[in-house]
């Protein structure tokens, strides 16, 4: 990708220097050992709810308090990544502001939160292993930049446009929230797959616009397609268990994810991303 380092954005929250804590752990709430904390963390991730808040008698859905570090320890490579994701964020949001305005919808900026290890959000507590995610409760995208190492090394999807695809997909969920698509996701795994594939298609729409603006280089599309294929449900299940269970898919197969990303990339149109009409398997 062609991009210029040095970007700065008020929509980026760098919380890499923060550590989770407080909440029910320091006052009159229940005190847990390390083993107990891991159990609660696992249950929080399973049920997608911050169960730590229940330990101090609170059922309000709040999040633990945060201890802010004095500074963010970073490497030159990580500094470059921060500038890169800032560039992608600003570019993508400018694209969506234009595209939604063309159809009479006002775009509202999302915020990008950078963290390490674990973080509290309006959607609950999450750790690095959860991967990047969008939280509609606070309209923020969360990412541990270390995920990009995993994307390259574990999933075999290197390249800057592969990294951009990940962020563009999460911003696609923000667009869905603005357009009211989130309500259509309440229908089990099939609805979840359709929502995720539409976010892939929206990522492709941004890629189309990036190409028109001269940001993309030779090979970038292939990097994006490789990243979409790398996180297909069938591939991930095969990596983890050696078998595939279609009934438990939540994001779509590698074939479906690459097809919808490519559809958005080729057309550049939001109306081409209606994953709720007909079959999600549109071929290659």
Q: State the CB neighbour count (10 A cutoff) for residue 19.
A: 15
Q: Where are the domains of the chain?
A: 12-19+70-273, 22-64
Q: Which of 12-16, 49-53, 268-272 has the lowest mean pLDDT?
A: 49-53
Mean pLDDT within 183-203? 88
Question: What is the Cα–Cα distance from 191 to 252, expressed in whole angstroms?
Answer: 11
The tens digit of pLDDT for each residue in 101-118 reads: 999 999 999 999 999 999
Prediction pTM value:
0.81
What lies within 8 Å, CB to CB, of 232 at 6+ separation is 251, 252, 253, 254, 255, 256, 257, 258
14 has pLDDT over 60 = yes
Q: Give 110 or 280, the one with higher predicted confidence.
A: 110
Q: How confident is the model at residue 19 (pLDDT cuts 50, 70, 90)?
A: low
pLDDT at residue 4 in the model: 82
Give pairs for 146-152: CB < 8 Å, separation 24+.
146/116, 148/81, 151/227, 151/230
pLDDT at residue 24 in the model: 26
Backbone angle region of 219, left / alpha / beta, with phi > 0 → left and psi within -120 to 50 → alpha: left
What lies within 8 Å, CB to CB, of 220 at 6+ separation is 1, 159, 160, 161, 207
CATH code assigned to 12-19+70-273: 1.10.390
- Token digits of residue 195: 């929502």
Question: What is the Cα–Cα distance from 198 to 277, expressed in whole angstroms?
Answer: 11
Please report, in angstroms and rounded to a whole number, the separation of the first and last CA atoms in the chain: 24
130 has pLDDT over 90 = no
The tens digit of pLDDT for each residue in 21-49 reads: 322 222 333 333 444 444 445 454 444 44
């Amino acid at each position: 990708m062609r991009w210029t380092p040095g970007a700065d954005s008020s929509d980026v929250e760098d919380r890499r220097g923060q550590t989770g804590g407080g909440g029910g752990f320091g006052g009159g709430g229940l005190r847990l050992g390390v083993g107990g904390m891991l159990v609660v963390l696992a249950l929080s991730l399973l049920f997608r709810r911050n169960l730590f808040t229940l330990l101090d008698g609170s059922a309000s859905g709040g999040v633990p308090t945060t201890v802010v570090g004095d500074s963010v320890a970073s490497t030159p490579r990580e500094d470059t990544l921060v500038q890169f994701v800032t560039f992608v964020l600003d570019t993508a949001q400018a694209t969506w502001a234009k595209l939604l305005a063309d159809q009479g919808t006002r775009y509202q900026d999302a915020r990008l939160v950078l963290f390490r290890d674990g973080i509290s959000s309006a959607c609950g507590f999450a750790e690095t292993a959860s991967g990047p995610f969008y939280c509609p409760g606070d309209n923020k995208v969360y990412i541990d930049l270390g995920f990009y190492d995993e994307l390259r090394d574990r999933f075999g999807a290197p390249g800057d446009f592969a990294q951009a695809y990940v962020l563009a997909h999460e911003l696609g969920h923000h667009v869905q929230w603005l357009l009211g698509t989130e309500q259509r996701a309440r229908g089990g795994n099939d609805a979840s797959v359709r929502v995720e594939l539409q976010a892939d298609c929206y990522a492709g729409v941004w890629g189309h616009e990036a190409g028109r603006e001269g940001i993309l280089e030779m090979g970038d599309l292939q990097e994006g397609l490789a990243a979409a294929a790398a996180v297909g449900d069938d591939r991930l299940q095969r990596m983890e268990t050696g078998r595939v269970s279609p009934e438990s898919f939540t994001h779509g197969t590698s074939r479906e994810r690459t097809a919808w990303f490519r559809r958005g990339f080729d057309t550049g149109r939001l109306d081409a991303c209606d994953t709720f009409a007909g079959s999600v398997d549109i071929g290659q």
